Amino acid sequence: MLADDEQLLREGVRLVLRHADDIEVVAEAGDGEEAVQRACAQPVDVALVDIRMPGTDGLTAAEQLAERAPAVKVVMLTTFGEQEYITRALRAGAAGFILKDSGPQELIHAVRAAAHGGAILSPRITKDLIASHLTATDGRAVKAQRLVAALNEREREVLVMVGVGASNAETARLLYMGEGTVKTYVSRILAKLGCANRTQAAIVAHDAGLLPNN
């Protein structure tokens, strides 16, 4: 589903996604309220949702979708410099974010990754996002460290890979594990941390001080 108040942008995204045989645009919405209604009315795997829309904005829509249609993976469409909005979206359970001016292949990859439970963190702004808006307060750091303490050593290693944005295949290769085993570990880690998705787990890893150059 595409949710953006700019029809031209929706048409552009739709044209890009037509080049992917495994992706079909089944619904469109011009604001957040309509997006929630459409996602609840028909099967939607991934929703590309603009952060800024008139009426019900994309952030509110993401929060409502997390409650009313939790199976829908929400990817926020954003422009550079909106990190404070992105932080709220990620903590609301969004699968991640992608810049509106991203290339066709990056957009297609984002939809596929979200559909398979991956975290979408656009590399062009992730570093700035972490440095500026996800810097852990003392309270958050203590909470994250307490959560991470429940993980065993192997689970921590996998969490670090999740935190740096590695795919299951990359994690399997680097940690000498089977990809199916990695998926099992990720599911177990999410359950132990109380996280809805890999993106939230990545934030916990950052807050706990597990990531390189943290």
Kindly report, residue by residue over 74-94, the tens digit of the pLDDT.
Answer: 998 887 555 667 667 777 778
HSE toward the beta carbon, residue 158, CA cutoff 13 A: 24
The arithmetic mean of pLDDT across residues 91-105, rounded, is 81
Which 3 state secondary structure label does DSSP give 47? strand
127 & 165 share domain: no
- Count up the domains in the chain and report the number: 2
- Last residue of one domain, picked from the residues 132, 148, 165: 132
Q: How far apart are CA 101 and CA 111, in angstroms?
A: 15
164 token code pair: 């740096």
Buried b (16+ CB within 10 A) or exposed e, 137-170: eeebeeebeebbeebeeebbbbbbbbbbbbbbee
HSE toward the beta carbon, residue 146, CA cutoff 13 A: 7
Specify the pLDDT at position 132: 52
24 & 110 share domain: yes
154 & 189 share domain: yes
Specify the pLDDT at position 45: 94
CB atoms within 10 A of CB 1: 21
146 & 127 share domain: no
Give the distance from CA 168 to its chain's centroid: 15
Strands 28-29, 96-99: pairing kind:
unpaired
Give the distance from CA 69 to its chain's centroid: 15
- Which run of H or E residues covers position 96? strand 96-99
Q: What is the CATH number of the domain that holds 111?
A: 3.40.50.2300
Picking from 8-17, 20-29, 88-97, 183-192, which range would have the lowest pLDDT averaged per residue?
A: 88-97
pLDDT tens per residue across span 131-175:
554 555 667 788 889 999 999 999 999 999 988 878 888 899 999
pLDDT tens per residue across span 17-64:
998 999 999 999 999 999 999 999 999 999 999 988 888 888 899 989
Range of the domain at 192: 136-207
Whether this model's pTM surpasses 0.95: no
Specify the pLDDT at position 109: 86
- Last residue of one domain, picked from the residues 78, 103, 132: 132
Burial of 198 (0-12, 13-18, 19+ CB in 10 A): buried
